[in-house]
Amino acid sequence: MKNRITFIRRIVQIISLVLLVYGGYIFKTRLHTETGKPLFPALKAPEGYMSTTKFKQGSILWPSGDNPVLENYPPSLVCRFNPKGGLFKACIFHFISENLTWQTHIKYLLPHLTLFILLCFLFGRMWCGWVCPIGTVGDFITAIRKKMNIPARRFPDGFKAGLRFSSYGIMGVGFFISGLIGIPNFARFQCYWFLPYCQICPARLICPLFGFIKPGWEDFETAITSMFTILAWFIMGIFLAAFYFGRRIWCHLCPVGLINSFFNKGAGIELKKKAVRCNKCGLCADACPMGLKEMYERNSDGVYNQNNCIMCMRCVEICPKEGCLSASFFGKKITESKLK
Amino acid sequence: MNKNIILSVFFFTGIFVGIAGEKLQVDFSYPSLKGDFYVNGKASFPPGIVNSEENISIQDKQTGEEVPTKIIVVERWPDGSLLEAEILFPANAKRQRNYIAVCGSDIKRRKKFTQTAVLPIISASIGKTPQTTESIDMAVGELLVKVDKSPDIRYYWYALPMGILLFLTVYRAVRNVKG
């Protein structure tokens, strides 16, 4: 098969999407635990603090379903605003923001964070390329553009660097506001500023649709919710445009991907290059959905897990030189480029 | 360690209970008048020590003879035991005696009176709190301290794998960057 890795990736993406969004129905009876000593402590809003489960239907932060069945289970993976039956509680950004506001004791966060770090240590940012449901939606949009024979737009490196810089800003501001409104003196602002990034994240608008549920996308009740509504739509526009015109350009801006990217260079999954076999054809740089060029530019052997690499392995797949690029898991080779 | 804490607490509270729960000193000054008078005072008890006013008796400290008393319960602890009681008993200025209030579940008051005669009343302090210029010793009764073994403490163990994972990530990242 010509694009074997891409084919496998698509299958994994579809299975992940189904599992993450509806998997709760499958695992509900097995994993849901209210008694005994759970490995992952339940994290709940203290009395008087805002919780997403307390918003009225139709408000901007109204979660689309009941509590996910694995309420007490790992953060990190999918949007909290997924339909009823979702498998996980929330993405890591939601998780950290929420618990900053609730001022949850660190000991209750340790199990959740440990699992998240374990996943990142094993797979790095592979999550973004293989599992993320928003990425899957984006890839679908990109596929539509491809079907229409519209070429992907190339963005300059400075632009991508600017997006990454912005994602640091989004992360910093999001966490700062979340922490600030957790201070009792500022608690009265929680009704407007709770989960500030979630309020503008495109996942909040997209995820409920998987459950045929209308997301809260038109909350103009107050000036602040109006601002968030407009911002959410603006960022949704950027999201759609980014995936339509520029493949995974959005992933440079995504703060969840940013957090995952901190672990990329030391992750178990590795992309290796044997420089002596490279003929500088540039196909790897051309095929990279993130528009990364480091793998192409490097002239020495080594592991090139770049921070922004989503480990889609498109470069390995496209490389025409036998054994030039390879992907391995803790040194054990998974796949390598084949002679074409 | 937790067991030691509990034992220590019981040891110290036991001292207070021993002092306060059995014999209380009745302190008053004999007046310059002649004849009988009433001694009146309020006594406070730790929770669980005195269940009823019938478990309090006033005795002559030298002879151990019980003195007739009138006892009115002022307040009770939530468990029903006496917190405070007002005690009234007769004394004579001529026969100057020292009195103690004896209380406890094994004490049974035998001599009592309900009607009081028209006599002078002298205030007394019963079971006066021992104090110095620096401190006041307060008997708080049996103090039960529950040391929460907190099953949540186990979550701290996650810091170990988390630290190892972070270290390995950084180590591998540095190794990969250096090539």
Residues B134-167: tens digit of each pLDDT = 666 666 666 777 766 666 777 788 889 999 999 9
Give pLDDT tens digits for A273-296: 998 999 889 899 988 999 888 888
Report the pLDDT value the prediction gives residue A167, as an integer from 0 to 100. 94
Q: What mean pLDDT is predicted for residues B101-111? A: 85
Residue of A nearest to B154 (CA): A107
Tell me: pLDDT of A339 over 80: no
> Closest approach of chain B CAs to the CA of A202, in angstroms?
30
**What pLDDT sits at residue A121?**
92
pLDDT(A18) > 50: yes
Interchain proximity A113–B166, CB inside 8 Å = no
Lowest-pLDDT choice from A36-50, A145-159, A180-194, A252-266: A36-50
Which residue type sits at A246? G
Q: Confidence class of residue A269 from pLDDT cuts 50, 70 and 90?
A: very high
Which DSSP symbol is given to B158?
A: G
State the Cα–Cα distance between residues A308 and A294, nearest whole angstrom. Answer: 11
Chain A: closest CA distance from residue B171 (Å): 7
Q: How far is A39 from chain B (nearest CA, A)?
A: 8
Kindly state the DSSP code that residue B116 receives in the 8-state scheme: P
pLDDT above 90 as % of chain B: 9
What pLDDT is stored for residue A234 in this prediction?
A: 92
What is the average pLDDT score of chain A? 81
* Contact partners, residue A256, CB within 8 Å, separation at least 6: A91, A92, A93, A132
* A92-96, A118-122, A151-155, B130-134, range with greatest mean pLDDT: A118-122
HSE-CB of A149 using CA atoms within 13 angstroms: 0
Q: Give the pLDDT of residue A172.
A: 95
Q: How confident is the model at residue B20 (pLDDT cuts 50, 70, 90)?
A: very low
CB contact under 8 A, A118 and B159: no
Which pLDDT band holds residue A233 (cuts at 50, 70, 90)?
very high
Question: Residue A110: which of B151, B162, B169 has the nearest Cβ?
Answer: B162
* Model confidence pLDDT, tens digit, residues A51-97: 766 666 556 665 544 444 444 444 444 566 655 545 556 678 888 88
Q: What is the pTM of this model?
A: 0.66
Q: Tell me whether A317 touches chain B (CB under 8 Å).
A: no
Contact status of B159 with chain A (Cβ, < 8 Å): yes
Measure in Å the smallest separation between the Cα of A221 and chain B Cα atoms. 41
Whole-Å CA distances, A307 to A125, A151, B108, B175: 8, 26, 84, 15
Q: Which of A110, A121, A302 sits opposite B155 (nearest CB)?
A: A110
For residue A219 the two structure tokens come to 């909350």
**B168: contact with A, CB 8 A cutoff:** yes
Cβ separation of B169 and A120 shorter than 8 Å?
A: yes
